[in-house]
Amino acid sequence: MSRHRAPGTFRVWLPAAFLAAFAVLVCVQLVKVQVLDHDRYAAEARAVRRGNDTFYARRGSILDRNGNVLATSVDTWDIYVSPRAWKDAERAANASAVLAPLLKADPAKLRVTVQQSEGGDVLLKRDVDYETGRLILKAAIPGVIALANTARMTPEGDTGASVLGFIGQDNVGLAGIEAQYNDILQGKPGRAVYERDTTGEPIPFGQYIAIKPEAGKDLVLTIDRHLQALAEERLAQAMKDHRAQGGALIMMDPATGEILAMATSPGLRYSTLDLSDNKQIELLRNRAVTDLYEPGSVMKVITAAAAIDAGVVSPNTEYVDNGVTYIYDVPIRNWDNNVYGPQTMTGVLQNSINTGAVFMAQALGADLFHKYMDAFGFGRPTGIDLSGEASGIIRRPADRDWSPVDLATQSFGQSISVTPVQMLTAIAAAINGGNLVRPHLVKAYVGADGKREEVAPEIVSRAVSAQTSAAIRDMLFQVVNPGHAHPAQPKNYTAGGKSGTANVPIPNGYDDRQVASFVGFAPADDPKVLIMVKLDQNQDLMTGTQAAAPIFASLADEVLAYLNVRPDAPKYVVKP
């Protein structure tokens, strides 16, 4: 029996042609996917399969000089959802219904947020507190991922905010100590790369590579939280009493340069911080180191120290004040237009006589005067450990616009701009034995292993001799103790100091606005604290002696008693 092959018909060839074409298309697509686009698809597959998390190290705490916490990090959770796990509507509804109450959110809004995302895991809430995060983890909600993070907490509220600064959402310091010491505080973040399943969970025993985070070090500041709070309270009260636009109140250990308290206003406040408000951006700078002012008569202390150290005058050198002195026909008058007659250099400081300061500067000469200005650190940053420090402005004989009148005016604190910290550091050098010390805010570092590294005080240079410094201490004691009551006299301690009242410079002159300040120290023989009180644009137009000196006097009593310094006012001196 013979077989007959069916002749090819349209019904056979047409499907065969379709099938062949389909097979060719499949082959082409396979070549495209597996050969031509291999790298791209392999990378996409790896990206889908591989999870990648960053674990921030625990940021170091910031402590005050006595170990009290000023800023610390608490463990929190960042809550993410894998959109793939919430593709199914019913599953998403169930999951969101469990998650929403824990996050105090609306379930529908959570679902919309997740469904509208086009990228990978969706961040639903940052810095969820630790206990809530644990509840979320225990609930094992499909697709929900909780990543450990930390948030900054300041137990003392707004106290010291301008010094401490703050950190951003990425745990990087943006202002103050947090920014200056970010590398030390932050430690090193850890990272984990792992294989994950379709819900985004790590596959047990899948590939897992982890680098552990290294915790940051704690910083022990020179700041004392009690003194800081006291300084902020007194500054706020003084600004209110004298209707001042701003101010600064700084306490320093003059021997070491340790800043015990630094209050500035306006300044950063955590409770009202709103970075979306452009006006608040200005509050991020610490005005004690960034803003310049003309110090006025406080500068006479430096002029006197320079003149005595150079040997051109002594505290008892006499001169006759006529109420006015002329520099190239430009009259320089006393602040009160008074005529004081014969005066010693101590009397010049006691009565704050401008012509006396000019007398000392002229005795020095411009070159020597500016050599001492350099020695006291004017015209350059002090090197304090806060960012944005200004250098100050001082016109010098080599400058194009220099005038001999500048030497005269600089001797009593005009034609020279300084920062409050710069002025305080210069006065510290004048009274601490003659050493220009570097002001600083960090006393020690403490590692995660408890190892403590001390930050040694730094002497930058010698400004004047110890003998000159002792003479200046005595002259400033005479200023506060002129033989009658003085607003700067503490009740329980001896003290010295100098006031300054300067008008605010404007182009081609000065206007009626003023800066009233007082810089004082106590006890007079062995200063333990140096305090600057500065009020900007006080509307009542009281002088530094009237407005700032009483604040110094009351603070000196409180601060020294707090520091366990024995009272040395005459009434406490026991005669043998």
Partner 1 sequence: MMATLPRPLGAHGRTLPLPPGVARANWWVIAAIMLAGMSALLPVLQNSSATSRGFRVQSLQARQAELNGQIGELESEVARLTSQDRIERRARAIGLEPSSNPIFITVDVPGPAPAKIPAELLPSPQPRAAGAEPWWRSLFRWLPLPD
What residues make contact with partner 1 under the rule CB under 8 A?
58, 63, 66-69, 72-75, 130-131, 134, 148, 153, 155-157, 159, 204-205, 218, 220, 225-226, 229, 444, 446, 450-452, 454, 492, 561, 566-567, 572, 574
Minimum CB–partner distance for residue 199 and partner 1 (Å): 17
Three-class SS state of 82: coil
CB of 139 to partner 1, least distance (A): 15
For 154, the token pair is 């300041």
For the CB of residue 446, give the shortest distance to partner 1 in the complex, in Å. 6
Q: Of the two residues 206 and 365, which places its CB atom closer to partner 1 in the complex?
A: 206
- CA 315 to CA 526: how far, in whole Å? 20
**For residue 522, what are the β-bridge partners?**
529
Minimal distance in Å, beta carbon 243 to partner 1?
A: 26
Shortest separation between residue 192's beta carbon and partner 1, angstroms = 12
- Which tokens is 400 given? 């194009």
Tell me the two tokens of residue 169. Answer: 């959402």
Give whole-number Cα distances, 15 to 4, 27, 552, in Å. 22, 18, 103
Least Cβ distance, residue 221 to partner 1 (angstroms): 12
Dihedral (Cα; 223, 229, 233, 239), 10-degree rounding: 30
Spatial distance between the Cα atoms of 247 and 235, rounded to a whole number of angstroms: 7
**Residue 254 C-beta: closest distance to partner 1, Å:** 21
Helices (H), 171-316: 176-180, 182-186, 225-241, 278-281, 287-290, 299-310
37 or 453: whose CB is closer to partner 1? 453
Q: What is the smallest separation between the CB atom of 167 and partner 1, expressed in angstroms?
A: 16
Cα Rg, the chain, nearest whole Å: 35
Q: Which is nearer to partner 1, 110 or 230 (CB)?
A: 230
DSSP label of 565:
P
Which among 128, 153, 192, 142 is positioned nearest to 70, based on CA atoms? 153
Nearer to partner 1, 443 or 498 (CB): 443
Q: Which is nearer to partner 1, 68 or 387 (CB)?
A: 68
Pick between residue 66 and residue 467 the one whose CB is nearest to partner 1. Answer: 66
User: Which of residues 215 and 360 has its CB atom nearest to partner 1 in the complex?
Assistant: 215
66 torsion bin: left (phi>0), alpha (psi -120 to 50), beta (else): alpha
Choice between 229 and 327, CB closer to partner 1: 229
Specify the residue, 10 or 205, whose C-beta has the smaller distance to partner 1. 205
Q: Phi and psi of 321, rounded to 5°? A: -90, 125
Measured in whole angstroms, the distance separating CA 122 from the mean position of its chain's CA atoms is 34
> Rounded to the nearest whole angstrom, what is the least distance from the CB of residue 169 to partner 1 in the complex?
19
Q: For the chain, report the end-to-end CA distance as a whole number of angstroms.
A: 149
Question: 148 or 292, CB closer to partner 1?
Answer: 148
- Amino acid identity for residue 32 in this structure: K
State the nearest-atom distance from the C-beta of 548 to partner 1, in Å.
22
Q: From residue 150, how far is each of 57, 89, 103, 167, 532 by CA, in Å?
A: 8, 33, 17, 11, 37
Q: How far is CA 128 from CA 71, 125, 260, in A?
A: 19, 7, 35
Residue 176 exposed, middle or buried by CB count within 10 Å (0-12, 13-18, 19+): buried
Minimum gap (Å) between residue 66 Cβ and partner 1: 4
Nearest to partner 1 of 89, 135 (CB atom): 135
Number of H helices, E strands in the chain: 20, 23
Q: Map residue 488 onto helix, strand or coil.
A: coil
* Min CB(46)–partner 1 separation in Å: 24
Q: Report the residue number, 15 or 155, with the smaller CB distance to partner 1.
A: 155
What distance in Å separates the CA atoms of residue 528 and residue 534, rounded to the nearest whole number? 20
